[in-house]
Amino acid sequence: MKIKVYTLNAFVKEGRGGNPAGVVLSADLITDAEMQLIAKIVGFSETAFVLKTNNADYGLRYFTPAGEVPLCGHATVASFGLLALKGPVSAGKYKLETKAGILNVEVLPDKKILMDQNLPEYYETIDKNEIAESLEIPVEAICSELPVQVVSTGLKDIIVPVRSLKKLLEIRPYFHKIAEVSRKYDGAGYHVFATETKNNSTAHCRNFAPLYDIPEESATGTASGALACYMFKYGIINEEQAENIIFEQGYYMGSPSEISASLEIMNRNITGVKIGGISGDLKDIEIEI
């Protein structure tokens, strides 16, 4: 059986960079095993499969080369970017069913995609020595005044604050150990950030998810939502700043990316989480399974 897979880069910055995702349209007759095989052959961090559903306008399932995940921000942006480019959707608001729940997605006239994420859940904090060892950095490079914590807005990520952009870019991750720690705390991976940035952004980020065969990712949507909530919770950003958050990622990989995020705040509580970005570099490939 031959399958057409579209490839796009999500969260591009000025038409460049971004994070590649595969997208398969009309995937209702493809089995779970076939989806997993397709994702492995495509080899991107995630491949998304567009499905019909009675509960929403569209359904999406997401597979890494190693397994299925309940939600993926950049593959959602890529999928709706593709649907906007191919014509089935126009500017407007849509309901999306995922294994993380039913989410709202908005397509703007410039084809920027905004997607809701779940409200934040904050889990355990982790000993910084354990994290420093896996990143092969001194523990002093991790901010002492902030916790390393598991946070989820649909997918659990381990949020790691480091003191400077220099320290962030010096990280040479010990992937086997990161996978062990991620498994121990039921996290997808590490989202490591510094508030010192290259382009006057809110934070500069690197993401490591070797547990899912993703050594490093150039743009991570779900973790960006979790990071935005973490930054507000711990006073790194205030309520006004929370309306317009910009994360830069992928520079270490030579694929500069830009992820926007915004939080709705009421009485100091987060009542809404959105992330957004633009897709580019549309191509297609045909694979046989």
The pLDDT tens digits for 47-78 are 999 999 999 999 999 999 999 999 999 999 99
H or E element, residue 287: strand 279-288
Q: What is the pLDDT of residue 220?
A: 93
What residues are paired with 13 via a beta bridge?
Answer: 16
Are the C-beta atoms of 260 and 227 separated by less than 8 Å? no
Element (DSSP H or E) covering residue 58: strand 58-63
Class of the 2-116+278-288 domain? alpha beta
| Residues in CB range of 59: below 8 A, 6 or more apart | 50, 51, 52, 53, 96, 97, 98
| Active site (catalytic) residues | 46
Entry pTM? 0.89
Token representation of residue 236: 């790194």
Domain 121-275: which topology?
Diaminopimelate Epimerase; Chain A, domain 1 (3.10.310)
Strand partners, 47: 22, 63
Residue ranges per structural domain of the chain: 2-116+278-288, 121-275
Q: In the prediction, which pLDDT does 14 show?
A: 85
Give the model's pLDDT for residue 88.
Answer: 87
**pLDDT (0 to 100) of residue 15:** 85
Distance CA 16, CA 223 (A): 21
* Max CA separation in the chain (angstroms): 55
Report, as an integer, the average pLDDT of 86-91. Answer: 89
Kind and range of the H or E element at 131?
helix 128-135
Residue 102's Cβ-count burial label (10 Å; 0-12, 13-18, 19+) is: middle
Domains 2-116+278-288 and 121-275 share a fold: yes
Q: How confident is the model at residue 127 (pLDDT cuts 50, 70, 90)?
A: very high
Residue 207 CA to its chain's centroid (Å) = 9
Among 230, 162, 228, CA closest to 197: 162
Strand partners, 262: 274
Q: How confident is the model at residue 173 (pLDDT cuts 50, 70, 90)?
A: very high
